[in-house]
Each structure stands twice: as structure tokens, then as C-alpha cells.
Structure 1
Amino acid sequence: MSRSPKINTVNEAATKYQAAPNEEYQLVEQAHRGVPAGAFFDILGFSGLTKEELSGLLDVSFKTIQRYQNDGKKLNALNSEQLLKMITLYQKAEDVFGDLVSFNRWLRKPAIGLGNQHPLKYMQTPGGIDLIMDELRRIEFGALA
């Protein structure tokens, strides 16, 4: 199986998967069609998450993701939506924090605006990703976060 060129930046992934932060309808439609399992590996390339963290957030084993990729399968709608939302989240985070290293540190520390919980735990659901996005907007505009 031939592999796509390696994705190294969040903007490359956003372009590849047509993930636009202000295009919820398009994102949901894309999720219903499913994204290739390779999106998992593209997100690993720029996110700073480990394969264990990302597969845990998706509630899918890493071996299953590998098998899907080898078989050229697409992910289900829920996992596709999660990954697409993660791409848009990382785009916003790069704008707000200036780099993804700082954002990854922030993900692992309690956030006041998220009930003093670690934002990373909220990435397990699309709604949780929306809460993190809201928190990033508050940070961007100087609200106490």
C-alpha cells in the first residue's frame, strides 16, 4: 500500500481533510463520509500526542487503527468528527499560543475555565473539544482562563 506524504503541520492536515474551524456543517458532512485512518497518523505528526493518548481519546486500539490504515478503511463518523475537530482545535491553539509545544503543556494542566480539569481529558468527545475551543477563544481575548 502506498502511503501519503507525511503531514508535519496542522495547516497541511486542515487542507488535506478540509477541516475549517468556522464550517461546522462541512465538518459534520465530512465526518459522516468518514476520514481515512491515516488521519490518525497525520495528527500524531503535529500534535505532540502519543499514539496511546490519541487512540485512548478515540477509544480505539492502536492495532485497530493500524489495521484500518493497512486495509484502506475509513473511521466511523464519531471518530472522524473527533479527528477533524482536533485539527481545527490545534489550528486555533497554534494561533493563540504561538506554538503547539505551549498548547500541549497547557492541555496537561488544570484549566480554571474547565472546572480545574486537564483539557486533554475533554478531547475524548466532540462536545469536549468544543469546550476547549471556547476556552481558547477566552484566552485569545484576554478573559481569565
Structure 2
Amino acid sequence: MGRALKIDESIHYGLIDDRDVFMLISTVREGIKYTLFQSIADKSPFSTSEWSSYLHLSERTFQRYRKEQRKFDPLHSEKILEITLVYNKGIAVFGDKDNFDAWLEAKNIALGGIRPKELLDSTFGIGLMRDELTRIEHGVLA
């Protein structure tokens, strides 16, 4: 089980998926380097302020991580991967990054009238979003 997911700054964003759960677990335990996080963040529609909110870290802490090129602890690493996985699933379901990004921004009646991206700050919210994407994928609309 000790194999870590070998990820560097040049990884293609779409290659992180949940097919190899043990590699994901190992990566979480090892911690995600700031450089990898930055490459993920650059390909997402989320601002540093939003990432800060999702990970429950201050923007100042983000600046320190960047300056010191630190690794995120396991809890933050796991949240980064969870958000990445749900984001990749959304792009796959919508067939297009721009369409999914627009869905993330629009208030959603099925999700209690909030914007889907507002759910990314908790594992429960990420799970709810994943469930909603699965319903959309299978044509079950609320």
C-alpha cells in the first residue's frame, strides 16, 4: 500500500481520478506539494480566496505555503483531491469545462437554491455535489 501517486507539476489535470484509491490514499498521507496544488488551482475556476475557504486556511497561510514550497497536511491534501475529482466528474458529465463552470456559478434549486461551488468547503457538500452530478449524468433531474 505504500506506493504514492507520482504527481509532478506537469500532470494533466484530467488524469487524477478515483480508479486507484490506494494511490490516492498514499498521496494524501504523503501530502500534496504546493507546486502541484498550484497547477491544479491554475486549471480550476476557483480563486485563491475560494480555495482558502474550501480548505479552511487563511490567504496568508497560502502565501507562506507558496513561499516555503511546503506540502499540505493530509486533511488539506485530501480535500484538494476530492475537489479535483468532483471537478473532473463535472467536466465529464457536462462534456465541457465552460458549461460546468457556468453550472458551478448558477443558483441551483436541487441544491437548496445555492451555487454548487458553495458546497466545496465540506466533505458532505462535495458528496452532495457528486450525487447531483450522478443524477444529471443519468438524466434524473429534480
Q: Normalising by structure 1, what TM-score?
A: 0.78
Q: What residue is the counterpart of 1:71 in the other structure? A: 68
**In 1, are the aligned partners of 2:9 and 2:35 still within 8 Å (CA)?**
no
1:132 to 105, 116, 129: 129
Q: What residue is the counterpart of 2:52 in the other structure? A: 55
Q: CA deviation at 1:14?
A: 5.0
Matched, 1:103 2:86: no
Amino acid at match of 1:116: G
Q: CA deviation at 1:91?
A: 1.3
Percent of residue pairs identical:
33
Moved more, 90-99 or 35-44: 35-44
Q: Sort the Cα spacing of 1:6 and 1:62 in 2 relative to 1 into closer, same or farther, 3 A.
A: farther
Matched, 1:27 2:24: yes
Unaligned runs of 5+ in 1: none
Q: Whole-Å Cα distance in 1 between the matches of residues 124 and 100 of structure 2?
A: 19
Amino acid at match of 1:47: S
**In 1, are the aligned partners of 2:17 and 2:88 still within 8 Å (CA)?**
no
Number of equivalent positions: 135
**Structure having greater relative contact order (Cα 8 Å, sep ≥ 6):** 1
Moved more, 52-61 or 65-74: 65-74
Amino acid at match of 1:44: A
Q: Sort the Cα spacing of 1:97 and 1:47 in 2 relative to 1 into closer, same or farther, 3 A.
A: same
Q: What residue is the counterpart of 1:113 in the other structure? A: 110
Amino acid at match of 1:90: Y
Q: Normalising by structure 2, what TM-score?
A: 0.80
**In 2, are the aligned partners of 1:48 and 1:101 still within 8 Å (CA)?**
no
Q: Whole-Å Cα distance in 1 between the matches of residues 127 and 24 of structure 2?
A: 13
1:46 to 29, 43, 46: 43
Q: CA deviation at 1:48?
A: 1.2
Unaligned runs of 5+ in 2: 1-7
